[in-house]
Amino acid sequence: MRGNGLWAQLRRPPGGRDARIMLLAQGVDRTGSGVWAAASVLYFTYVCGMDAGRLGLLLGVGAVAGIVGSPLAGRAAERLPVRGLLIGCHLLRVATMGLLLVVDHFAALLLSVALTCLAERGAKTLEMLFATRIAGERRATYQALFRSVANGGYAVGTGFAAIGLAVGSTTAYRALIVANALSYLLAAALIRRTAEPAGRGLVAAVPSPAQEAAGGGPAAVPSPWRDRGYLLFVLLDLPMCLDDSVLNVGLPLWLIHHTGAPHAVVPAFLTVNTVLVVVLQLRVSAWAENPRGATTAVGWYGLTLLASCALIALSTGGGPLTASLVLLAAAALVTLAELMRSVSSWELAVSLAPPRAKASYLGVAGMSQSVQKSVGPMLLTGVVMAAGPAGWLALGAASTGLAAVQRRASLRRLAALEASAGASAAAVVG
């Protein structure tokens, strides 16, 4: 493994110079995002004076805007340079963060948050497309490097935010907003130093090899919204993202309301997650360096999440120390599930899309995270946790079953795509 560790890979990532710059830009971006994630709810509550109802509406509208951002970015990337679109997303976020500093009317704040979330999800889709184009077949390794960099940056950002939150003044909160905006501006400046990756511009409706051999006309560019096989993958990918809500919502609330574990254990969940992602993401990504490996990782995801849910259900039966240890073990298993899901979802989203329309297809696939962030917390609090330990066991069993369905569906689609490619090649030879 010498020369293949995290630091060695970061010095020589798939994609070379442009990949190094993009990883640095993503680390800067996620550092600023960590600052804002830690401070946003408190800022809107104590500085803007919002009650719980308005705050919920604000966050809900932002989540819906985020869902729209992914397919919009994917569609735009079929027509415009990815690099320019990505810079535009970051600059839009700079503007919306600046708007927060000068307005206090609820409607203006609502617009600012909605545009911020739309640009954030659009940027993440464009980053995915950028990486797919520059890293090629080694995109799983790039994804692993990105996850490590992003988690490290996010942890730094939340630590920086803790300083401002400890001060607690309006000036300190505004300073955190400025720091977040500056991170987006720096990310845009870094991305400007990269070259536009191969595949830019409009995806032309060029003839397929078989059509060219037969003298046929140009084939229509496929739409992801009419591709039932790909939409099935995206639909099944939604519950595959629930590990995020389990870690950030389910575990803390279960600890507080259903166990005797001390509340001080809650921050340790994020610590466990951050450390394991940084240490293990590259190793786990080796399982999903090709589409077949990604389908295997999907199966393991379901089983790992089932084991985590079983531990959460069992955590109510012991004292404070036992409950703490069991929940920390559950956090570790949730993180392992997250590692497998992150690389398998990306690899399959790319591999299951037709070559000539990957940008718009990836935009649709990118909706999974946004939808999960909107629905996941409500599902956990309103259904799973309301049912007690049995609810966690049911969630784990359902996740395992859905993972098995997604694995089989993905294998069928991969086989169909390979057969179609083989038929096209045979037609050209013939």
DSSP assignment string, 368-425: HHHHHHHHHHHHIIIIIGGGTHHHHHHHHHHHHHHHHHHHHHHHHHHHHHHHHHHHHH
Q: What does the pLDDT read at residue 4?
A: 62
> Residue 375's pLDDT band (boundaries 50, 70, 90)?
confident
pLDDT at residue 204 greater than cutoff 50: no
Q: What does the pLDDT read at residue 354?
A: 82
Tokens of residue 105, six digits:
């009317």
10 Å Cβ neighbour count for 188? 22
344 — phi, psi (to 5°)? -70, -40
Q: How far is 228 from 248, CA to CA, in rounded Å?
A: 32
Q: What does the pLDDT read at residue 3?
A: 53
Structural domains of the chain sorted by starting position, each given as residue range(s) with its CATH number in brackets: 13-191 (1.20.1250.20), 224-429 (1.20.1250.20)
Q: What does the pLDDT read at residue 2?
A: 44
pLDDT at residue 260 greater than cutoff 80: yes
Of 73-87, 225-239, 414-428, which range is least confident? 414-428
> Residue 219's pLDDT band (boundaries 50, 70, 90)?
low
Tokens of residue 372, six digits:
């999960």
> Residue 421's pLDDT band (boundaries 50, 70, 90)?
low
The mean pLDDT of the chain is: 84
> Residue 257's pLDDT band (boundaries 50, 70, 90)?
confident
Q: What does the pLDDT read at residue 424?
A: 59
User: What amino acid is encoded at 269 in this protein?
Assistant: F
Between residues 420 and 409, the one the model is more confident about: 409
- 47-67 burial string, b = 16+ CB within 10 Å, else e? bbebeeebeeebbeebbbbbb
Q: What does the pLDDT read at residue 180?
A: 93
pLDDT more than 90, % of the chain: 30
Output Rg (C-alpha) for the chain, integer angstroms. Answer: 22
- 140-174 burial string, b = 16+ CB within 10 Å, else e? bbbbbbbbbbbbbbbbbbbebbeebbeeeeeebbe
Mean pLDDT for 298-306 is: 93
In tens, the pLDDT along 306-353 reads 999 999 999 987 889 999 999 999 999 999 999 888 888 888 888 888
In tens, the pLDDT along 2-61 reads 456 667 777 788 888 898 999 999 999 999 988 888 788 788 888 888 887 788 788 888
* Angle between helical axes of 52-77 and 106-135 (0-180°, round to 10): 40
Q: How far is 206 from 220, CA to CA, in rounded Å?
A: 8
Give the number of C-alpha atoms closer than 13 A to the C-alpha of residue 246, restricted to the C-beta side: 34
pLDDT at residue 155 greater than cutoff 90: no
Mean pLDDT for 279-306 is: 85
Mean pLDDT for 167-191 is: 92
Mean pLDDT for 68-82 is: 88
